[in-house]
Amino acid sequence: MMTKDQDARAAVPGLVRGLNILRLFKRSRPHITAPEMARELGIPRSTVHRLILTLEELGFLQRVEGTGAFALGPAVLTIGYEYLASLDIVQLSNPVLARLHNETRLSTHLAVRNGTEIIYLSRHAQRATAISNVTVGTSLPAHATVMGRMMLADLSPAELRALYGKDPLPAFTDQTPTSLAALEALLIEDRRRGYAVSTAFFERGVTAVAAPIRDRTGRVVAVINVTVVDATIDPRYLHGELKDRVLAAAAEISAVLGAPAAGAADDNAEMRQAAG
């Protein structure tokens, strides 16, 4: 059995570089030129050119006509949807999210964390409104979203520091925490409540209530939420009946995943926090 160091030495450089090219594309940056790829990855333009040709031939990149830039191709989307479809949690949670959507007449979502971002795996949208451009597969910064905060609240202080270091956190509204200390203060309160609520935290005009989904070990493996767009909502309903419905839905999905009872899950979380 190879060690982690041996695994790293056995990595295929060309494959690593090709994947790093794909990782450059973001929701906020859909088009990138070859010179930009070479400069940002620190590899020769000739190498980038060969990698682009290969990725283009396989359908992972496509040319943007008249710009000299490239965009992600349909093969990336296909793999992404196959990955999402392979996750049991999506299938297990969809009936619960659909019911929560029907009961509240609000949009409901499921997301997981990938590093410092959350990725939406499921969405049951409110027909009357559209929530910005959030769709299945959308990634958003964890520190600036209420769903992300629920995922981050499960981390120990040491895990949180390792994830963010000392760099400033980008702001999206006046409420976004821009330092690790400010983020930790929010997470302490989220952890104490067991759910999180935000209004215009990431995007103006959007109010959200989020609750964690736990697996059999008690770890938070996903988060669900309901969102209200461009509407005034009674705080008593927000922190009362609506919060209760979201928590109940999260508990139902967690139970299917074999999560321990609420008290035991809280004890496990406190032990991880102390260990950090």
Delimit the domains of the chain by residue range.
4-77, 88-275
Ranking 51-55, 170-174, 185-189 by mean pLDDT, the lowest is 170-174
pTM: 0.66
**Span 215-235, mean pLDDT?**
84
- Interatomic CA distance for residues 215 and 93, integer angstroms: 13
- Match domain 88-275 to its CATH number in 3.30.450.40, 3.40.630.30, 3.40.50.300, 3.40.50.880: 3.30.450.40
The CA angle 261-100-203, to the nearest 5 degrees, is 100
- Interatomic CA distance for residues 91 and 69, integer angstroms: 37
Sheet of 139-141, strands arranged across = 139-141, 117-124, 107-114, 220-229, 206-214, 196-199
- CATH number for region 4-77: 1.10.10.10
Per-residue confidence (pLDDT) for residue 136, from 0 to 100: 81
Residue 16's pLDDT band (cuts 50, 70, 90): very high
Q: Does the pLDDT of residue 8 top 90, yes or no?
A: no
Per-residue pLDDT tens over the stretch 41-79 = 999 999 999 999 999 999 999 999 888 899 999 888 777
Q: Does the pLDDT of residue 266 top 60, yes or no?
A: no
Q: Does the pLDDT of residue 207 top 60, yes or no?
A: yes
Average pLDDT, the chain: 83
Q: What are phi and psi of 84, to 5 degrees?
A: -60, -40
Per-residue confidence (pLDDT) for residue 2, from 0 to 100: 43
Residue 85's pLDDT band (cuts 50, 70, 90): low
